[in-house]
Structure 1
Amino acid sequence: MRIPGTGYEHTIKNLWPGVIRVRKLKVGIIGVGMAFERLHYPAYQKLTDRYEIAALCDLDKVKADMWADRLKISHKNVYTEIQDILDREDLDVVDIMVPIELNFKVTEAVAKRLAGQKKGIICEKPLAPTLEQARAARDLAQKYNVPIMIAENFRHNQEIDIIRDLIRTKRIGDVIYFIQNRVVDFPGDMLQDKFSAKEWRQHPEFPGGAITDTGVHDLAGLRHIFGPIDRLQAFGRPQASDFAPYSAVNVNLLFKSGVTGQFTFFCAGKEMQRPLIGLRIFGTEGMIYLEGRDVGTINLAFNDGRKEQIPYEAQKGYYNELINFYNALTGSEPISVTPEMEFGDLKTVHDILLSIKEGRIISVDEHTTYRPDYQQALAEQPGFLQ
């Protein structure tokens, strides 16, 4: 069983000889902020038969102690120094949730400390603030012999998987093009109890700001559906606010499968008209329409007049990624979102910023490593991607 998207022949069994067993995995949390509270913790609550949160680490000892009380964890299992929590021998998983500018540095330190110890790492997206660090992050799993999953929940969201399968089975015929419009009211959200209210997001120490932090999700979803990107051309509307260099970006994308499309990311306002533009995929026999990721319904409209609605459970990605990681660490399936795969998602964001800055078309994926499984089969057909 190969780790997808890596090109490595190593398997989870090879990385962890003798670790294949079914039991509850003990988790150490690094960073008990909003990502833990609203994203990871609710998923862990649903998986108490597979995971047990055993230790917490955060610079804010008061906040960590509060969480210890809530989780009924002794305060002796609360740490303010990363090395202290890593000295524990009972942890099976370390889940890292820190500001983006610290992602690589913390993950590298954890991987180095856990090298060869049969422990796994979960790191929030994107895997690094810069491409230079992201390139180094791709090699951490192999370099230190430790499984690493990037928590890109859009690649695990139920609606994205359903749409990818609809494309694979040609439910709307051959896909010709798509449009996706994503709108985030960052200025409004920063005044509420939302992720945008965090100081490090309002004044980011990484390129792209909100485009990198939020837009990378949508691009990961598109890459999950359509595979690797051949080229892109982008334009941006500059703004003076620190949270993003552009209030809006418009990107023309050509995927290696031949699909073309336009992705628009507007992070400084609202889309007031309903229904939203959302994601619309046009094929030779009909179209797929997803208004938003929380609506719970995927709409299909066929050229012959038929219509169909497919229900899904919204915001399932965090749960699904923890299921995948548990199965990977216990030997039943490979890690779905590896650092190598997430590098491609982050590189796409940086290529968009580069295209805007230099006013030219940018080549994105040099190789076809990031194809979905169904495109792997297509690649074996004569003439595919030739």
Structure 2
Amino acid sequence: MNPIRLGLIGTGLAVEHLHWPALRQMTDRFVVTAFADRSAEQGRRFAALSGLDPARGTTDHRELLARDDIDAVLVSVPIPVLYGIARDALAAGKHLLCEKPTGTDEEQARAFLDLEREFPGRVVLVGENYFYRDDIRHARALLDDGAIGKLHLMAYRRAGQMVPREGRFNSTPWRQRPQYRGGVHLDAGVHDIAQIRMLCGEVARVHGVVQWANSTIDSPSDLALNLTFASGAIGNYTACYSEVPVPAEPNDMRLYGTEGVLVLSGPQEERRVTLTRADGTTRTDVFRGIDNGYFAELCDFADAVRLGEPVVGTIAQSVANMRIVLAALDSADRAAVVALEVSGEGGVPLWRPRGADGLFEGLPGRHQISEE
């Protein structure tokens, strides 16, 4: 099959560091035919980085959408303008891979959901890469196989320093002074919520509290969240984006079951999934060189556009992640437990490479197993 002719709307840090490294490995699936960035300087920077002809660039995304040599677009722009550009792309007849989250608040989340009904012939994937990350998918497969029995407790910790540094995601002014509810917890926190839903199932109730303890961001820096899952399991999620340096933190997720414990830990360079069984034996799966799921996410999008396959990262799945963050903020505002409507769709599906027997065929990175 011919490669999908892809247009890029937004060529900043997310495209430079996350999407483009995957796309340049996928020339059998995608060819980038044009790109748009409202900053002409950034457009020139991306052209130099990618080797694309600068003449294929524009500062007006509508000019890109008017081209007839584009089948699909990747939209990676600041959160406050995501919805408008996403809708423009669908109205122009393009398939859409859109960065998360689905808007700035509940109203925009509902508007995103309406896009599926308004443009039923288009493929839409909202880029929640944690749904596609190798270590998380492997942990999910272990849980599905009953490796720890029935889950009864989840503990997940995320803590580190967050101050603006040139070339980092937190250096962008729209993240320092966010025009979307919850700031960093809606931007970065939805990834952690995606992991929680992927491994623990749907959330029925939340009770959250927040702190404002970082003067470099105009949003809550800390969130402590108790969760009750539809399965009856309970859990705690703690996120701290500190202004001061933070000592080395475990920053792991621990899942306690009736027949074992599963721990997800480690930095991106070496992620680990450790299973401790009821008899005390352990198995550790180590993942090196994985790309956090961006390659797999693009595979899912390509299969949907070319072959009509369903995607895992639907608008509805992204909205479900977002609504847990919003419910946590509501709970903090009201000092009360907030109930969520539990979807009847059965949670997050486990993505596998199309036509593969296992979880990792054809994907970048290395996987090693150690038994003790």
Q: Residue 83 of structure 2 contacts residue 112 of structure 2 at CA under 8 Å; is this kept in 1?
A: yes
Asked if 1:77 is matched to 2:56, the reply is: yes
Within a 5 Å distance, the mapping from 1:150-299 to structure 2 comes to 150-187=126-163, 190-239=164-213, 241=215, 243-268=217-242, 269=244, 271-273=246-248, 276-292=250-266, 294=268, 295-299=270-274
Are the structure 2 counterparts of residues 326 and 293 from structure 1 closer, same or farther at C-alpha, using a change threshold of 3 Å?
Answer: farther
Q: CA deviation at 1:224?
A: 1.5
- Superposition deviation, residue 332 in structure 1: 5.6
In 1, Cα distance between equivalents of 2:103 and 2:154: 29
Cα distance between partner residues in 1 of 2:64 and 2:27: 21
Report SS of the residue matched to 2:221: strand
User: Which AA in structure 2 matches 1:233?
Assistant: H
1:100 aligns with 2:79: yes
Q: Could you tell me which residue of structure 1 aligns to residue 363 of structure 2?
A: none
The answer on whether the counterparts of 1:288 and 1:298 sit within 8 Å (CA) in structure 2 is: yes
Task: Supply the distance in 1 between the matched residues of 2:216 and 2:117 (Cα, whole angstroms).
Answer: 36
Distance 2:21 2:166 in 1: 21
Q: Which residue of 2 aligns with 1:372?
A: 348
Q: Which moved more, 1:192-201 or 1:120-129?
A: 192-201
CA shift, 1:287, in A, is 0.5
Q: Do 2:159 and 2:251's aligned partners in 1 also have CA atoms closer than 8 Å?
A: no
Q: How many residues align?
A: 346
1:133 matched to 2:108: yes
Describe the superposition over 1:331-370 as per-residue Cα deviations: whole angstroms up to 9, x where unpaired.
Answer: 1621111111111111111100000000111112343335
Displacement of 1:244 in angstroms is: 5.0
Contact 1:341 1:370 survives alignment (8 Å): no
C-alpha displacement at 1:184, in angstroms?
3.4
Alignment of 1:19-34 (within 5 A): 22-34=1-13
Contact 2:230-2:342 at 8 Å conserved across structures: no
SS of residue matched to 1:94: strand
Match of 2:281, as an amino acid? R
SS at match of 1:330: helix
Distance in 2, Cα, partners of 1:154 & 1:244: 26
Distance 2:346 2:188 in 1: 20
The one-letter code sitting in structure 1 at the alignment partner of 2:265 is E
For 2:57, give the aligned amino acid.
V
Tell me the residue number matched to 2:316: 340
**Distance in 2 (alpha carbons) for counterparts of 1:372 and 1:57:** 32
TM-score, scaled to structure 1: 0.85
Aligned AA (2:337): I
| 1:121-159 alpha-carbon deviations (Å, 9 max, x no partner) | 011010211110110101213302321110111111111
In structure 2, list runs of 5 or more residues that go unmatched. Answer: 351-372
Query: Structure 2 vs 1, CA of residues 96 and 372 (structure 1 numbering), >3 Å: closer, same or farther?
Result: closer
CA shift for structure 1 position 245: 3.1
Task: Report the Cα distance in structure 2 between the residues aligned to 1:166 and 1:311, rounded to whole angstroms.
Answer: 14
1:68 maps to which of 18, 23, 47: 47
What corresponds to 1:361 in structure 2?
Answer: 337
In structure 1, what residue type is equivalent to 2:273? I
Most deviating of 300-309 and 26-35: 300-309
- Whose strand fraction is larger, Structure 1's or Structure 2's? 2
Q: In the alignment, residue 45 of structure 1 is paired with which amino acid?
A: R
Q: CA deviation at 1:277?
A: 4.5
Letter in 2 for 1:339: I
Distance in 2, Cα, partners of 1:227 & 1:89: 42
Are 2:208 and 2:224, in contact at CA under 8 Å, matched by a contact in 1? yes
The residue that corresponds to 2:293 in the other structure is 317
How far apart in 2 are the matches of 1:235 and 1:69?
45
Structure 1 segments unaligned to the other structure (5+ residues): 1-21, 375-386
Q: 1:366 to 1:302 in 2, by over 3 A?
A: closer
CA distance in 2, matches of 1:312, 1:332: 30
User: In 1, Cα distance between the equivalents of 2:330 and 2:98?
Assistant: 26
Q: Deviations over 1:9-42 (max 9, x none)?
A: xxxxxxxxxxxxx220111000110011001101
Shift of 1:109: 1.8
CA 1:322/1:277 → structure 2, altered by over 3 Å: closer, same or farther? closer
Partner of 1:380: none
Q: Secondary structure at the match of 1:296?
A: strand
Indicate how the Cα distance of structure 1 residues 281 and 271 shifts in structure 2: closer, same or farther if over 3 A, else same.
farther
After TM superposition, give the deviation of residue 373 of structure 1 in Å: 4.4
Instruction: Give me the identity figure in percent.
Output: 27
2:278 corresponding residue in structure 1: 303
| Kept in 1: contact 2:312–2:348 (CA 8 A) | no
Q: Structure 2 counterpart of 1:280, which letter?
A: R
Paired with 2:321 and 2:181, the residues of 1 have a C-alpha distance of 14
Tell me, in whole angstroms, the C-alpha distance in 1 between the residues paired with 2:301 and 2:160. Answer: 30
CA distance, structure 1, for counterparts of residue 267 and residue 117 of structure 2: 34
Structure 2 residue aligned with 1:48? 27
- Aligned pair in 2 of structure 1 residues 270, 223: CA closer, same or farther (>3 Å)? farther
1:59 counterpart = 2:35: no
For the Cα contact (< 8 Å) 2:214–2:241, is it kept in 1?
Answer: no
